[in-house]
């Protein structure tokens, strides 16, 4: 009890810092706009009434900013306007190594699926090959995902013409040295923020929100990227708060409130039998509330390669279904994957430290590792989990998991190496 009260207090302070962080961001914007040239979408004919197609104005403002000779051009999306934009890509490389995108107003997606006819249904707003991009401004991006969720095969596979692929709200491809801060990203048809092939990418003070029953709406998904961080953010969605895909390293996830959602996941990895390379992942100071998973690692049996040097620390769980879970037998449809002998992604050097809170199921710790490629060097220190239902007992289940523990309850089932 004492612990949870203290933790709650910590959360309040943390939320306060988040709010203060947002309030101070306006001042920063003013400073930035003072330097370099500014390119306001209104000057390019955007109307911002929430109904007019403002796509071309956005593209033209971007083109001029990107091609301008000024040192740090700023694209301005002013506040008190709602801009309707259709699928669009902001292309780099730009002339400047530093380009600002100040979103203070709201950007909304078209709400009808028909808009994507003949287009790539996986994207809406895309930044590609841009270096040194800073997105800031306390604005909102709304993917208007409802029509997509209603047509998703994930919820109703019997529906004729149901959709499997839906747009990502914000997608970054090959964008080195990017920073995105002080933004609201809501109701994406699928993943909210997707980072692909980016070196040096920081997300800070991001609020992501979509309904708990919206399918495949990951908060943030990172793939093939290095030096990534997400800090001081609140994520509530219908899928993972943050998920880390194949070929990713040097990831820092810090000061996050996650829930509802599926937790923070490394994986699923190795789906197509590829060689996974995921390492140096640090997840700390996360509060999970009512999520299906907490700290999760999931790999497909067909995968190969490694996941190593992962630290999960200072986590607090409030009624989470699988607080700590490693699943090396991951399969998206239960029972649909054949048991594969001989392969598997090697999982090693995983630390779980200072982890407290409650589980809503009987199994609080589940380390389900492969017979062929066992998990090794798992370290658990000061992990204390109890049932969300008073007086109920929770357990730890392990298979082929080797390592050491200290101060763990429910007493874990690690095998001595």
Ligand X SMILES: *[C@@H]1O[C@H](CO)[C@@H](O)[C@H](O)[C@H]1NC(C)=O
Question: Which residues of this chain interact with ligand X, rule CB under 6 A?
Answer: 53, 55-56, 86, 129, 131, 174, 176, 199, 329, 366, 368, 397, 399
Identity of the residue, 89 or 384, whose beta carbon is nearer to ligand X in the bound complex: 89
Q: How far is the CB of 103 from ligand X (least distance, A)?
A: 19
Sign, CA torsion 398/385/357/6: negative
Write b or e for each residue in 251-276: b if 16 or more Cβ atoms lie within 10 A of its Cβ, otherwise e: bebbbbbbbbbbbbbbbbbbbeebeb
Identity of the residue, 149 or 300, whose beta carbon is nearer to ligand X in the bound complex: 300
Identity of the residue, 4 or 97, whose beta carbon is nearer to ligand X in the bound complex: 97
Q: How far is the CB of 84 from ligand X (least distance, A)?
A: 9
Identity of the residue, 86 or 382, whose beta carbon is nearer to ligand X in the bound complex: 86
Identity of the residue, 45 or 407, whose beta carbon is nearer to ligand X in the bound complex: 45
Per-residue CA distances from 28 to 61, 134, 136 (Å) = 21, 12, 9
Q: How far is the CB of 54 from ligand X (least distance, A)?
A: 8
Q: Is 218 a residue of the active site?
A: no
Identity of the residue, 286 or 380, whose beta carbon is nearer to ligand X in the bound complex: 380
- Give strand pairing partners of 194: 171, 221
Q: How far is the CB of 398 from ligand X (least distance, A)?
A: 7
Per-residue CA distances from 77 to 17, 106, 240 (Å) = 26, 8, 29
| Nearest by Cα to 291 from 253, 254, 321 | 321
Which of helix, strand or coil describes residue 148?
helix
Instruction: Name every residue whose Cβ is closer than 8 Å to that of residue 396 and which is 6 or more positions away in sequence.
Output: 363, 364, 365, 366, 367, 408, 410, 411, 412, 413
| Per-residue tokens: 349 | 């050097």
Asked, as a colleague might, if the bond just before 177 is cis with ω within 30 of 0, I would say no
Q: How far is the CB of 34 from ligand X (least distance, A)?
A: 28
Identity of the residue, 287 or 330, whose beta carbon is nearer to ligand X in the bound complex: 330
Per-residue CA distances from 207 to 23, 213, 229, 241 (Å) = 14, 18, 15, 11
Which of helix, strand or coil describes residue 397?
strand
Q: Is 239 a residue of the active site?
A: yes
Beta-strand runs (E) in 165-241: 168-173, 178-186, 193-196, 199-209, 220-223, 226-236
Q: Which residue has the tokens 């003070």?
A: 205
Q: How far is the CB of 101 from ligand X (least distance, A)?
A: 17
Write b or e for each residue in 306-344: b if 16 or more Cβ atoms lie within 10 A of its Cβ, otherwise e: bbbbbbbbbbbbbbbbbbbbbbbbbeeeeeeeeeeeeeb
Q: How far is the CB of 56 from ligand X (least distance, A)?
A: 4
CA–CA gap between residue 279 and residue 281 (Å, rounded): 6
Catalytic residue among 218, 239, 246, 327: 239
Identity of the residue, 135 or 198, whose beta carbon is nearer to ligand X in the bound complex: 198
Q: How far is the CB of 27 from ligand X (least distance, A)?
A: 30
Per-residue CA distances from 270 to 244, 277, 304, 344, 396 (Å) = 12, 9, 6, 8, 26
Report, as residue numbers or ranges, the catalytic residues. Answer: 239, 262
């Amino acid at each position: 009890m004492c612990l949870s009260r203290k933790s709650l207090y910590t959360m309040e302070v943390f939320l306060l810092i988040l709010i203060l962080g947002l309030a101070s961001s306006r001042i920063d914007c003013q400073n930035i706009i003072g330097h370099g040239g500014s390119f306001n979408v209104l000057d390019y004919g955007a109307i911002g009434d929430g109904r007019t197609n403002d796509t071309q104005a956005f593209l033209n403002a971007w083109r001029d900013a990107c091609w301008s000779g000024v040192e740090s051009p700023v694209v301005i999306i002013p506040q008190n306007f709602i801009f309707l934009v259709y699928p669009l890509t902001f292309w780099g490389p730009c002339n400047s190594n530093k380009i600002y995108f100040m979103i203070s107003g709201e950007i909304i997606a078209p709400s009808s699926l028909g808009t994507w006819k003949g287009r790539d249904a996986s994207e809406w707003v895309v930044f590609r090959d841009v270096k040194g991009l800073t997105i800031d401004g306390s604005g909102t991006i709304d993917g208007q995902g409802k029509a997509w969720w209603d047509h998703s095969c994930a919820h109703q596979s019997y529906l004729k013409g149901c959709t499997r692929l839906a747009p990502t709200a914000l997608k970054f491809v090959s964008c080195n040295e990017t920073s995105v801060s002080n933004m609201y990203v809501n109701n994406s048809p699928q993943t909210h923020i997707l980072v692909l092939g980016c070196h040096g990418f920081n997300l800070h003070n991001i609020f992501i929100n979509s309904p708990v029953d919206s399918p495949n709406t990951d908060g943030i998904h990172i793939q093939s990227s290095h030096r990534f961080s997400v800090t001081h953010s609140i994520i509530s969605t219908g899928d993972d708060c943050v998920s880390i895909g194949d070929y990713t390293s040097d990831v820092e996830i810090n000061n996050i409130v996650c829930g509802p959602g599926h937790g923070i996941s490394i994986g699923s990895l190795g789906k197509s039998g590829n060689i996974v390379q995921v390492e140096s992942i640090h997840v700390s100071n996360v509060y999970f509330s009512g999520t299906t998973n907490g700290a999760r690692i999931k790999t497909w049996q067909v995968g190969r390669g490694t996941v190593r040097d992962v630290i999960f620390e200072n986590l607090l769980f409030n009624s989470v279904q699988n607080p700590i879970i490693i699943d090396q037998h991951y399969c998206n449809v239960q029972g649909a994957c054949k048991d594969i002998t001989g392969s598997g992604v090697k999982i090693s050097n995983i630390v779980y430290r200072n982890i407290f809170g409650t589980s809503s199921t009987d199994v609080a710790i589940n380390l389900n590792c492969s017979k062929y490629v066992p998990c090794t060097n798992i370290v658990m220190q000061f992990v204390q989990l109890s049932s969300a239902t008073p007086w109920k007992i929770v357990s730890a289940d392990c298979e082929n998991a080797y390592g050491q523990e200290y101060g763990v309850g429910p007493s874990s089932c690690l095998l001595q190496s």
